[in-house]
A and B are shown apart, each in its own frame.
Chain A
């Protein structure tokens, strides 16, 4: 049981490049989400999904796309990387109870630098 797995752990991109951050969970969790964490800003929600085929925007969705074709996977796509997207990205999942009392399980993060 690996929990939430994020790849890669580190990535350097040039401005304008695109890439996909991978996130997979093996706990059969319905709910998955992506956050970015910047110094002094805390964790900010990018996109989330309450089940396969369903996604919604968070606080800072611009410049990012997501899809949820399976329960297990929730990739985050950077369309055209910008230096402002330099951050640590966390994927998190939880069993969806509909009552909001399910704690999030976080992956170990992807540290992205855009030059």
Chain B
């Protein structure tokens, strides 16, 4: 079976750093994605990891440990516009679809 876990909600203040964790148990692994979704809008792609280690993209970084079934999304220098849901998704096998976790709602306050 498949299981992808993320915290339901997180809060942080402007300028801070926040880490959103994702653990997964899937029958296979062919890559992990992070998406951002603002309220009432469609998800948009943030990052992709298939090998262990850290991928950095500006203020956002994503880390993967395949042996631990664990990933995190790190957001630095938080801004109010970062208030959104962050979705972790796993591709179990090439030729199959992405399976999403339930998402983490991040609220950034001033």
CB of B31 within 8 A of CB of A103, answer no
Total A-B contacts with CB atoms under 8 angstroms apart:
58
Contact A99 B43 (CB under 8 A): no
Question: B30, B41, B45: which contacts A108 (Cβ < 8 A)?
Answer: B41
Which residues of chain B in 58-106 are interfacial with respect to chain A, using CB atoms and an 8 Å cutoff?
87, 89, 91, 93-103
Q: What class of interface size applies to chain B in its complex with A?
A: 20 to 34
Knowing A43-B87, A48-B97 are in contact, say whether A103-B33 is a contact too (CB < 8 A).
yes
Main secondary structure of the interface of B (DSSP, over half): loop
Q: Is B44 an interface residue (CB 8 A)?
A: yes
Residues of the A chain whose Cβ atoms lie less than 8 Å from the Cβ of B96: 48
The number of chain A residues touching the other chain, given as a range, is: 20 to 34
Contact B30 A100 (CB under 8 A): yes
Chain A 12-55: CB-based contact to B (< 8 A → 1; otherwise 0)? 00000000000000000000010100001111110010100000
The interface of chain A, by Cβ under 8 A from chain B, is 33, 35, 40-45, 48, 50, 56, 58-59, 90, 98-101, 103-109
Residues of B within 8 A of A (CB): 30-31, 33, 35, 41-45, 48, 50, 87, 89, 91, 93-103
A sample of 30 cross-chain residue pairs with beta-carbon separation below 8 angstroms, ordered by A number, consists of A35-B100, A42-B87, A42-B100, A42-B103, A43-B43, A43-B87, A44-B100, A45-B98, A45-B100, A48-B97, A58-B97, A59-B99, A90-B42, A98-B94, A99-B30, A99-B94, A100-B30, A100-B93, A100-B94, A101-B31, A101-B48, A101-B50, A103-B45, A103-B48, A104-B35, A104-B43, A104-B45, A106-B44, A107-B42, A108-B42
Query: What 8 A-B pairs have minimum CB-CB distances, sorted nearest first?
Result: A42-B102, A103-B45, A106-B42, A100-B30, A100-B91, A43-B100, A48-B97, A100-B31
